[in-house]
Chains A and B, each alone.
Chain A
Amino acid sequence: MRFDTPATTNPIDQLRIVGQPVDRIDGPLKTTGTAPYAYERHDVVPNQAYGYVVGSAIAKGRIASIDLTAARAAPGVLAIVTADNAGKLGKGRFNTAKLLGGPDIEHYHQAIAIVIAEMFEQARAAAQLVRVDYVRTDGMFDLAAAKDSWKPAAGFDATADSGVGDFAGAFAAAPIQLDASYTTPDHSHAMMEPHASIAAWEGDRLTLWTSNQMINWTTDDLAQTLGIAREKVRLVSPFIGGGFGGKLFLRADAVLAALGARAAGRPVKVALTRPLIANNTTHRPATIQRIRIGATRDGKITAIGHESWSGDLPGGGPENAVQQTRLLYAGANRMTATRLATLDLPEGNAMRAPGEAPGLMALEIAMDEMAEKLEIDPIEFRVLNDTQVDPENPSRPFSQRQLVECLRTGAERFGWKTRNAKPGRLREGRWLIGMGVAAGLRNNLLTTSAARVRLDHRGVVTVETDMTDIGTGSYTIIAQTAAEMMGVPLDKVVVRLGDSSFPASAGSGGQWGANNSTAGVYAACIKLREAVAQKLGFNSADTIFAEGQVRSGNRTGSLAEAAGDAGLVAEDAIEYGDLGKQYQQSTFVAHFVEVGVDVATGETHIRRMLAVCAAGRILNPKSARSQIIGAMTMGVGAALMEELAVDKRRGFFVNHDLAGYEVPVHADIPHQEVIFLDETDPISSPMKAKGVGELGLCGVGAAVANAIHNATGVRVRDYPITLDKLLSGLPEV
């Protein structure tokens, strides 16, 4: 189905099931521990052996020699695969460094071997016996030091820089100016389930049970890496214990399970150990950002500029931290620039709200600082500079933009007017109290998504698509969509996901999953409805699907009858025209945070949080709320504690486990409130929905930072805002 004109009234608008806060249909599986996660698929194939990955002990250089004698002789060892005996390997489209390194080493903990044994403990013990001699070479591990040596690399995309009007002139002429630098550190996805795969070969055909967000990309990349035809590879990933972008791509667990299974001649399972994850897989790269804003005395932005530096391995990409600045506020003169330095740290790549998350952490502090200079309330300052059109291209409107309503609604609900604009004035016992606000924007990305729907003789509708559920609720919203479309209750819908033998979906990433995958199911259901009407001899234009019945005029039939013994099958995809070009499609949020900062120790305690979101139709308010509060929690982590500590001499992330890389615990998170504004966006898709999975993270960090400033008067521009950065600015005890 091609979607190239705005949606009109359609069966989804009935909102009998879509839009209702129904419980997750996979909830019972999860609460009873019966949802099959990759590493636990003992049932799918017998005789599974265990693989243990050996990571490089150096960050850059080369392996002079590997001695496998002791490891091979260790009890239970079946095979050891290294680059020497793995055969020729390709590289996936989404990988920068090789997933099996050697002899050249590109980053710390790059996989260099996998040891396969009868038992996990045997594989682990033998892995420690692999003796490797390395020749180290110097590398660059310090973004601040590498920043200025930036050179446009071959293939540098100059269009990544943007400019409108005369930024330099307007900024210089502005009576009120801000020119400040901000930094965000490297972040780890730190999802609960580690990367894990079980591989089994049957002749030249490979089946991989894995944990992956993007089945279609990863099937391609696995075939390409192994040098076999895509048709020979099947990926199965029905349940995923979190990903946050860390499982968008093919990673070492999958490749090494496949190679290990080939070498051992039997199925092999591999999980990356927690200490490997930080350095072996991808992470969100650190940024250094410079923001300049010029405004008139009454608060109109006349110039806005945002530059960002990040680093990656040769051939990698930048963190797009300036994206949102092109869209969020008005201003006639604008510039953004994105610079990429070469670093020899592990591979950087997407993590939840890539670009916007770190970008807004900086931009929304800058807006707070600017409001302070202007002596204007930070909400009013944002309202004053709202835009309903793409500020770089005013002929392009936003399809929907209710940022002002988000800010106003939130201010009212949060009691913003009780905030003292003068920082450091409110104290309750040991706590300095402050409130902060920040806006957020995350774009709505449109991408083709296909699904197959089957109808059987019992009237049961089964949806099959390679869409994934990474804990987000995909199973549920897809079931809601199919139930709404076919006029059946939820318990008459079966959803099967995450299998590369199913039609290719949008997958889970970029908060594009919900809208696109349900729109794909919508398209397939439209086809199935036509098939049903035709089967019953009804006129499809006026056929109504409700309560398991099919009606046309005064004629009634049932789905079961239409399906017959043979059943009916329909498959289609949603494909988008250029509405995405004509309109800027984005989602919006206003975050409100109240903190207490311990006057003696500088420890920050979050007291209250509120997010007000405008994000198109909310397909399921319950699972959408879960997405937002989870993201708010992640934002608190980024604001207060999350940082992969770089050893700039040895070139690796030192705190590579969950004891060292701290993320928020329950005691850090207070009551969180979420409001979704009423919105439907017919420009977006037949579902009139957009995404929320990343929106919730956009701006939270800055709202926390701004609240800390309001509480203490200390302005910290380097995340995370740990207590050591506040101490010198706090009053004497």
Chain B
Amino acid sequence: MRGTVQAMSPTIKVEELRKAYGELRAVDGVSFDVQAGEFFGILGPNGAGKTTTLEMMEGLRQPDSGSVTLFGESPWPRNPRLLPRIGVQLQASSFFERLTAREQIRTFASLYGVTARKADEWLDVVGLADMAGKRNEDLSGGQQQRLSIACALAHGPDLVFLDEPTSGLDPQARRNLWDVLRDISAQGRTVVLTTHYLDEAESLCDRVAIMDHGRILQSGPPATLIRDLDAPTRIAIESGVITADAARGLAEGLDVSDDGVSLTIATRTPAPVLSALAERDAMRGLSVRGATLEDVFLHLTGREYRA
């Protein structure tokens, strides 16, 4: 999909976007494009400015400066031509009071002219069919979250904004939701998602932008970011099988640490280290871990990632 669409104008174009709350520059000069059909992730810790950026893209907030265009049009002020084409899941769920899950999604769907039957199908998709008769006040946090996503998707929008869709979901629900989102994306829809979870960004997104303190530090496909980082591979074995000193002698330029549970060897050339370990029959509890987005983040910000 990507590559062929470069000639067309992008689905989303964000240029030099800025927004300050008083002294605090929440979004401080952000620019990026998202192409049609792309799955784009904005990754960053609390307070990075993800929600603020998203809200300016959705037309909920007026930028101090800079511009956003969706399908070539400005979303601010409220632009009725764009609204049917976009679907939004807000970070804070918003539901009508004292309505059941089924009534909620039917109400939202009808605002877009979607039938009750089609709306009900979405309850199934997010695994809430059993909860259809429950009032939203009685749903768990994760169930509300899933309902909120279903409400955002029910009218089949071309462009979907999801603000931390998997926060508060149990691991199973999270995997299920990933499948739903992959389906949406496979149908050619454009998806923009924010997340704290590096694994989520890595597994879902075609491209991610890493954001902190209102700025985008780097963006690109997760695999490229990781490769460009040229970070060492970490080989870990059970502590005590060989000493740290013995490990350092296995090959040139190894970075070895032992925390009493595992002995970890960081290296850019894992192959000789692994065969040396095999020769010594010292592979108990072996795990080999390549670099992840976490390393990219660590490298970019100079601090540990704290989700």
Q: Specify whether A and B are partners.
A: no
